[in-house]
Amino acid sequence: MADDIVVNDNLEDIGAQAEVCEPKYDADNLQILKGLEAVRMRPAMYIGDTGSRGLHHLFTEVVDNSIDEHLAGYCTKIIVILGKDNSVTVVDNGRGIPTDIHSEVGVSGVEVAMTMLHAGGKFGGGGYKVSGGLHGVGVSAVNALSEWCEVNVCRNGECYFQRYERGVPCAPLKVVGAADNTGTTTKYLADSEIFGEIIYHPDVFVSRLRELAYLNKGLIIEFVNEFAEEDEERSKVFKFDNGIAEFVEHLNRNKTALHKVVYFSGERDETSVDVALQYNEGFQENILTYANNIHTQEGGTHLSGFKTAITRVLNNYARKNNILKEKDPNLSGDDVREGLAAVISAKILRPQFEGQTKTKLGNGEVEGIVNSIVGEKLAEFLEENPTAARRVIDKALTAHRARDAARRAADMVKRQSAMENASLPGKLADCIERDPSKCELFIVEGQSAGGNAKLGRDRRYQAILPLRGKILNVEKARMDKALENEEIKSLVAALGTGITHSSMDIDDNEDGVLDFGEEITSGNGNGNGNGNGNGKKNGATFDKSKLRYDRVIIMTDADVDGSHITTLLLTFFFRYMKPLVIDGHIYIAQPPFYRIKAGKDKIFYAKDDDERDSILRSIPNKKDAIVTRFKGLGEMDAPDLADTTMNIETRTVRQVMVEDLIEADEMFTVLLGDQVEPRKAFIETHAREVENLDWHA
């Protein structure tokens, strides 16, 4: 063996060998992307993703530029058109993009704005004081990711035009006629090479445009949908003279309010803040935050400033009026925000967003400004409206008592788990795999179906959790009641993440969270202004990294009861495990309705009547066909269930995604909330759309 070993003591020879073996790496290996090539090469860096969300994000980037013109005091109307050819057009009556030649680059201002990243009038050059499109990649990124884009600008008495194809100008900007007005029209066709199949959802347009109209009182925004059917509304116009006060009324329209909407505004150090809020009798908080009209879905400093202020002010009022005694602990942040609907809109000279899609505000100074303004104005409202103030405080006190009960319930579950030497529920049939990314959990309706699912699963990566009956409707119950429900406790323990108090803000990890696997630390009630009114942060947090299964699949009967159970489960996930829904971890199984046996060994499955009839037409000898209709999962034997609903190669599952948090929140309130009239109106409106109302019939 020693003869086979070659030792080379010549370092120069070794270096020479390495030079031959390794690829050449010098300055010529450094690739320089010109123009908008970087956007086309890495589109997700600029618009988030290249799926449906990224596709719809394009129009918001263009609209945001028109909104900036409104904020500058020039634009009063915006029109957005979704064309039959899948084009999108945005029209505004602002000043129009500058058309003169830029002295440094030698092309028109229009071409600079449309083809150069980080170019625009929003970097302190005097074009805009407040802007949402600060990063300067918005409309140029849209241009880069479009098959073609056309821009018309009316300015200085003339109308200008330029066309681009995949970000490249077809010709210089040219005058095409006279104009007696000003404004910009941008029309583009998203590139199928980037986004694949182009499918737009008009509701996404409507939701964002309505939102912008609320945030910019008096601004007229029109949406034209050329895909609308004859019986559908082709054009919608939004204009709200009372702005975000009407927005809060909209958020609470299906809830019972405790008082009139409170609206106030203020300005500090070139930052203006508008706030509208109203409490309702429900248990969920719904706080929406915006910075320069951009929806900051993950909150940020303006949200933390608001939370700190509202907790401090309500505690101070309660103590000043002897509602809270000296020995009583302070109300927590979750206590004072239960049933609160609020909109916070900040206008900032130099906003700092985290990421190009601007989901979180990072300006440190904004927290103190919002804290100060909200603290002063809310304290004034409470003093001037003692009846409303008492209703709010009483609700917070009730929430506080319920939350204490919830903590005790969680602690009891934890102690029971410790005594049983296992933290997982006994009914759970777990899988062997321990890598969560490879695992999936089936939540199965009924013990019988659960038994068949256990027999038909692939135990290497599929876990089964059977549920008995319907879980608690958490839309009508506080957290303490939810934690008393055995099925919910089993579900939470199986998933491993803990639960968090519901909120439209998904970035609040400092209070109101319960985890069955961690110690709960109660606060000492000193109200130190940390946002939750407690002296210590709770030791437990909702921790998605502890999720034990990447896919959580709801599997219920294909009947009314099954649909109801699915809705109850989705409500629970949305209210108490919202990140799982937002990040696409929740799925709904699609079991077939029919099994068709032809001859001795041919078996077909049909998802509905049409597919059943199609299969029967394809069978030569129809007399030998035996059609079995499954009335429930329990009637399917293990092989049937495995082949049709669980086998990853043959099954069909529907992923649950949230395109609009506001609309989703409203829908859960309508379907499962206290008020009957909104639910009745919804049923009457959509009754004719229902198919297969009850497969037990």
- Please say if 511 is a catalytic residue: no
**CB contact at 8 A, 636 and 630:** yes
Catalytic residue among 559, 640, 643, 666: 559
Q: Both tokens of residue 386?
A: 């003692």
Catalytic residue among 445, 508, 515, 643: 445
DSSP 405: H
Q: Give the 3-state secondary structure of residue 414.
A: helix
Q: Both tokens of residue 48?
A: 């988030």
Question: Considering only CA atoms, which of 460, 498, 496 is closest in space to residue 479?
Answer: 498
- Please say if 561 is a catalytic residue: yes
Catalytic residue among 557, 640, 643, 666: 557
From residue 401, alpha-carbon distances to 115, 229, 397 in Å are 58, 52, 6
Q: Both tokens of residue 429?
A: 């049939």
Q: Both tokens of residue 151?
A: 């821009």
Question: Considering only CA atoms, which of 428, 468, 363 is closest in space to residue 134?
Answer: 363
Measure CA of the first residue to CA of the last residue in the chain; give whole Å. 81
| Angle, CA 680 vertex, CA 674 and CA 681 arms, to 5° | 115
Question: Considering only CA atoms, which of 631, 417, 455 is closest in space to residue 442?
Answer: 455
Largest distance between two CA atoms of the chain: 97
From residue 142, alpha-carbon distances to 78, 114, 189, 540, 638 in Å are 18, 9, 9, 42, 50
Q: Which residues contact 216 (CB under 8 A, 6 or more apart)?
A: 67, 70, 71, 243, 293
> What distance in Å separates the CA atoms of residue 427 and residue 455, rounded to the nearest whole number?
14
Quickly count helices (H) and strands (E) in the chain.
22, 24
Per DSSP bridges, beta strands 235-238 and 183-190 are unpaired
Q: Which residues contact 303 (CB under 8 A, 6 or more apart)?
A: 287, 289, 296, 344, 361, 505, 507, 508
> What distance in Å separates the CA atoms of residue 396 and residue 402, rounded to the nearest whole number?
10
Q: Both tokens of residue 425?
A: 């529920």
DSSP codes of every residue in 305-356:
HHHHHHHHHHHHHHHHTTSS-TTSPPPPHHHHHTTEEEEEEEE-SS--BSTT
Q: Which residues contact 157 (CB under 8 A, 6 or more apart)?
A: 178, 179, 180
Catalytic residue among 404, 550, 561, 663: 561
Active site residues: 445, 557, 559, 561
